[in-house]
Amino acid sequence: MAGKIFINYRRAQNLNEAQHLATRLETAFGVDRVLIDVRSIDGFSEWLGTLKEQVAGSAAMICLIGREWAEVKDSAGRPRIEDPNDPVRLEIVEALNRGIPVLPVLWDGASVPAQERLPSDIADLFRRQARELQAKSFPGDADVIVDDLKRILGERDRPSIPWAAGAAAAAALVVGLAAGPKIQTALGFLPPAEEVKLRRLLDGTKTEYLKAISERDQERAARTTAERNLQDAYENKGRESAAAARLSEVAAQVRALQDELHAEQTARNAADSRAEKAEESKNTLSAEIKTYQSRLSELGQRFEATKEALIEANSREALARSGTDKARAEIDAYVLQTAILKNRLKDAEIEAPDTQNPEASDNETSPSLLSIIPKRFQPIPAIQSTTGPLKLGNPARLSLNQLAQKKPHDTFHECVNCPEMVVIPADTFVMGSPDGKTRALNLDGTLKAGAPSGAEEHRNDDEGPQHDVKFSRLFAVGRFPVTFAEWDECVKEKGCDNYRPKDQGWGRGGQPVINVSWIDAKAYVNWLSKKTAHTYRLLSEAEREYAARAGTVTPFWLGSTILTKDANFNGGDKGEYRRRTASVQTFEPNNWGLYQVHGNVWEWVEDCWHDSYNGAPADGSAWTTEGDCARRVLRGGSWANAQYLLRSAMRGSYGQEKRISNAGFRVAITVPEKEAAAK
């Protein structure tokens, strides 16, 4: 079996499922024998010609059919399957015309389309027996498809049956034996001696014919026995495959448990080590603080004496000023050292003694010294320590009026394990990716800085048409995706339907929460809204793209490309592939202070899935009318995806009840208007 297998699917519907099926087929047949356009066509090929060549070179085709496969529409609102240039239709027509076996596969409850709704050149596809492929029974269903393909490829490679040619020859011989003597007798032109020779020759030929008939019967019996043995072998192989699959599943579970135990032991050892180091740092830094505290007090006294000398002796003004400047410089240096040490103590979770006024109560700084300390060296506010990401400022529950006072780029979080929020400026931006026919222009008609002049590389049709979106109200967005620490707080307070998602053995705390559906994310924002008395929600799709771009128009907020040192994704042979999530604070934030807007985890947003932006809201609100509301939009790409799936304009979708290990979410809140808050 050397033939190749081509996977035909509609990308807007079944990209993830097609990739999972391709991985299973690669395991059974080899990577080089499975063709799928996402992996098999590079960015420099003429795609239509390449597709036809790949179909022509295939021995079998899988046609993956999702729900409403025949009703998916293009940007003009017409069913794509009616377009003669639709890639899905072109691939099927090419296979049928070339006599290549096509196996229809119905994904997750999809039904066979009615033949009268299909073009005539592919109607023959659905006269074939279809296979079902369900998410809940994916491994077993995929094994059935593998067995089908093996039988198809085996039948195509089987040599022709030897006795067929013999039977044909024997039939011809029968005609000769029956008609020959009659012809000879009718003509009556042979001499007696020649007639005897001819009759002997015919008798010999008849003997050979009877022998061939006997051999044919024996071969037929042998073939029947061989086919029966082959059927028994297929059945035995199916049972062996099921047993092997179960054995592999049990082995994987054992390895997962071993990895979990090892990770837990490693974490415990690391925690013990950090505790020991923290205690050592506490003793060392406390001693250094006392030394600097004493020195700072001494310098303060010297500065006060210098000030008095300046008042009493004008004649020594120049000398006194020199001494004052020197004292200021020394104070600046020691205050800087003290501030650094306080920050180090803060990292070690130790409360630093006051360095300005050793005798002041409640850590109050001496007003006389604080007035002369440069602002850049004054003590910074304490930062709340959590098991999640480091958050700015202290948590504080906000009143409606306090929330209304927030300005662009302000940050806040309303409890220790509540998401930290960043206020986003209200402005207008161009949503979607360029198609090469229109350009992103400024009001004066010039091309926006960084905007591509042609179509964005790897662009999909559902990323258009580009359109202006205007935000008239400020809104705040989570600085990070929601973490396990924040989710577990919800569960601890009897929220989130008491659902505790698995962390895949990658850790909780500051890791982004995963294995949560769109429905789970809605349960979290409902709990957060009740806890804070403010209406938290999921972002709209427009808000998510606007916040990710942070004022840029390039495919990524960093520019035209992104590297694995900048985000967590599958770098392939051009970068690192971490194969898991990273802590939410791992990489640099974008221009508005938001972390991981590209990669790590896909993020659920409020919107229903639509195939294009035709009719999309222009005010940035969520689009929850029409469309497919059983599937919700995902944005940002993940650790498991290629670079181009992380683009700011890239759109994905999935069933709203699905839970996967590379999807999470972040939250938003609308900043109320000051007049409304005052009422």
Model confidence pLDDT, tens digit, residues 256-287: 988 888 898 888 888 888 888 888 878 887 88
Q: Classify domain 400-678 by CATH number.
A: 3.90.1580.10
The CA-atom distances, in angstroms, between 147 and each of 1, 154, 159, 453 are 13, 10, 20, 49
Mean pLDDT over 536-541 rounds to: 98
Angle at 556 between CA 554 and CA 560, to 5 degrees: 60
Q: Check if the beta carbon of residue 56 is closer than 8 Å to that of residue 42.
A: no
Quick: pLDDT tens for 367-412: 444 344 443 333 333 333 345 677 766 787 899 999 999 999 999 9
Q: 370: which 2 tokens?
A: 């604080």
Beta strands in 522-644 (DSSP E): 536-538, 602-609, 628-635
pLDDT at 187 over 50: no
Contacts of 564 by beta carbon, 8 Å cutoff, 6+ apart: 571, 575, 576, 577, 578
Most confident residue range from 25-29, 235-239, 245-249: 25-29
Residue 544 confidence (pLDDT): 98
Contact partners, residue 133, CB within 8 Å, separation at least 6: 17, 21, 64, 105, 106, 107, 108, 141, 142, 145
Burial class of residue 73 in the structure, from the number of CB atoms within 10 Å of its CB (0-12 exposed, 13-18 middle, 19+ buried):
middle
Q: What is the pLDDT of residues 401-447, one digit of tens each?
A: 999 999 999 999 999 899 999 999 999 999 999 988 765 555 565 66
In the chain, CATH 3.90.1580.10 covers 400-678
For 524, the 3-state DSSP assignment is: helix
Whole-angstrom distance, CA of residue 565 vs CA of residue 360: 47
DSSP letter at 121 equals G
Mean pLDDT of the residues in the chain: 81
User: How sure is the predictor about 235, in pLDDT bands with cuts at 50, 70 and 90?
Assistant: confident
Read off the pLDDT band of 350 (50, 70, 90).
very low
CA distance 459 to 645: 10
Fill in the DSSP letter of residue 241: H
Highest mean pLDDT (candidates 194-198, 302-306, 453-457): 453-457
Q: Which residues of the chain does CATH 3.40.50.10140 include? A: 4-157
The tens digit of pLDDT for each residue in 636-647 reads 999 999 999 999
Q: What percent of the chain has pLDDT over 90?
A: 48
The per-type count for the chain, helices as H runs and strands as E runs, is 14, 16
What is the structure's pLDDT at 129? 82
pLDDT of residue 650: 97
pTM, rounded to two decimals = 0.45
Residue scoring higher pLDDT (194 or 250): 250
User: Quick one: 80 exposed, middle or buried, by C-beta within 10 A (0-12, 13-18, 19+)?
Assistant: buried
Res 47: pLDDT:
66
Phi, psi values for residue 602, rounded to 5° = -60, 150
Domain 4-157, CATH 3.40.50.10140 — does that match?
A: yes
225 has a pLDDT exceeding 50: yes
Asked if the model's pLDDT at residue 173 lies above 50, the reply is: no
Q: Of 466, 651, 449, which is closest to residue 548 (Cα–Cα)? A: 651
Q: Write down the pLDDT at residue 373.
A: 41
Evaluate the CA torsion angle 43, 47, 53, 58 in order and state its sign: positive
Q: How far is CA 509 from the centre of its chain?
A: 21
- Looking at 578-617, which runs of residues are DSSP E strands? 602-609
Residues of the chain above pLDDT 70, percent: 76
Strand 411-412 with 467-470, pairing: unpaired
Contact yes or no for 355/289 (Cβ under 8 A):
yes
Helix-, strand-, coil-residue percentages of the chain, each rounded to 5: 50, 10, 40
Three-state DSSP class for residue 41 = coil
DSSP state letter for 665? -
The candidate with the shortest Cα–Cα distance to 63, out of 32, 26, 107, is 107
Phi-psi region of 30 (alpha: psi -120 to 50; beta: other; left: phi over 0): left
**347 pLDDT tier (thresholds 50, 70, 90):** very low
Place of tokens 């609100």: 621
pLDDT digits 0-9 by tens, 620-641: 999 999 999 999 999 999 999 9
